[in-house]
Copies of this chain bind each other. A is one copy, B any other.
């Protein structure tokens, strides 16, 4: 029997749930704990994850767990579908690749039971987690929580398959790569959880990539807005969509390491102080704001330059219309006037994987656009500085440009928002630029 759907989309539901919890107060807090692929890579690591869960259960918390497939398992399954046929039915792709989460959930439930913890696994269709029918990149519509809540209230740990959903026609969907983060946040929102803990292979969000800057520091707290920019501008620690959802739903996220010995960390305080990781929360919860919180870089963009096009109305439409029709997303755009004044150069970036298709599209529209030359290059990197403090501090951009210029780094394109500045530079300068900016904004650890 399916339970009546009770989804997280109903406004006020979080309050209803919180109210219900306070009334019976069977548990201290309701936590969603998400374990990624490397955190459940083998039986030993699954055992470690189980001990993290036991610590929270022993502290009196109700725990809903979200798991990914064991590391590399999803890749193995994706590869199988690719071998079966290069162009495959997304519905069958979803049926195949969702098998990995199913295995992890069952195994983790068994391990928890062997530690005398009541637990059961839940596949997406069993909850159900209903989605739209966009197979391979589905969006969650509703999560039925009645049965889950009742079992959590009785002390049972729910081990839910991340990544999976159920389409309206009763077929399995998946949420796209990294979708388990989104599953966890959506479940936390639907359950009105006190916190959503993302266990991963790093111990938090850093001011920048520690492989490039040895003095990178772990952030104790970071606001949703900053995390969203960091995730979409190159920080790999959280999937962008999951941060967006957390922000909209007000889900407090804690990014922490599953590799830390479970017995070495106390169950975390709900206020997030003395956190063993990074708390992603509302900016109001962050007392000491830095002007800049982090520096990111992304190598997955490519630059396209169109030389000597007419500087007249309609030329932008002639360029970007066909690209939009071809499903190509354009990011940074720079228009520069050429020597003779009547012609202009147009530079912009696209995803590196779409560079070839972009150039082909532009070549076939050459007559309509009317340009002298066309260049494409994937030898660029987008370096970004991100910080909510920029809103109230002028001069971040100019100090950034000056510092890069002093190191001889040429800026090829710029894009800005209220809380971030991104520059496109030659990829060879990536490390130099990141280190320079990390020092410039006072982010280096003492």
Which residue of B has the minimal Cβ distance to A168?
A: B1
Surface stretch bound by B, among A75-83, A328-336, A420-428:
A75-83
Closest CB-CB distance, A411 to chain B, in whole Å? 46
Judged by a CB distance under 8 angstroms, whether A113 is at the interface is yes
Q: Kindly state whether residue A63 has any CB partner on chain B within 8 Å.
A: no
Provide the main secondary structure of the chain A interface: helix
Encoded as 1 (CB less than 8 Å from any B CB) or 0, chain A from 261 to 278 comes to 000000000000000000
Q: Which of A94-102, A202-210, A383-391 contacts B (4 or more CB under 8 A)?
A: A94-102
Instruction: Provide the residues of chain B in CB contact with A398, threshold 8 Å.
Output: none
Which residues on B sit within 8 Å (CB–CB) of A92? 106-107, 109-110, 113, 120-121
Residues of B within 8 A of A125 (CB): 125
0 or 1 for each of A52-87: is its CB under 8 Å from B? (1 = yes): 000000000000000000000000010011011101
Chain B residues, CB < 8 A from A106:
81, 92-93, 95-96
In the bound complex, CA of A80 to CA of B98 (Å) = 18
Contacts of A123 in B (CB 8 A): 95, 172
* Shortest Cβ distance from A87 into B: residue: B114
Q: Which residues of B contact A85 (CB under 8 A)?
A: 110-111, 113-114
Q: Which residues on B sit within 8 Å (CB–CB) of A80?
A: 43, 103, 107
Q: Indicate if A364 sits at the interface (CB-CB under 8 A).
A: no
Contact B96 A84 (CB under 8 A): no
Partner pick for A96 among B91, B98, B102, CB 8 A cutoff = B102
Q: A92-B121, A95-B121, A103-B96 are in contact. Are A84 and B46 (CB under 8 A)?
A: yes
A128 CB → nearest B CB, Å: 10
Residue of B43, B84, B171 touching A114 (CB-CB under 8 A): B84
Verify B110–A88 contact, CB threshold 8 A. Answer: yes
Measured CA separation A109–B94 after assembly (Å):
12
Q: What residues of chain A have their CB less than 8 Å away from a CB belonging to chain B?
A: 1-2, 43, 46, 77, 80-81, 83-85, 87-89, 91-93, 95-96, 98-100, 102-103, 105-107, 109-111, 113-114, 120-121, 123, 125-126, 170-172
8 pairs, CB–CB < 8 Å, chain A vs chain B: A80-B103, A84-B110, A85-B110, A85-B111, A92-B107, A99-B99, A102-B102, A125-B125
- Beyond A77-B103, A95-B106: 9 further Cβ-contacts under 8 Å? A89-B109, A89-B113, A89-B120, A92-B121, A95-B102, A95-B123, A96-B102, A125-B125, A126-B170
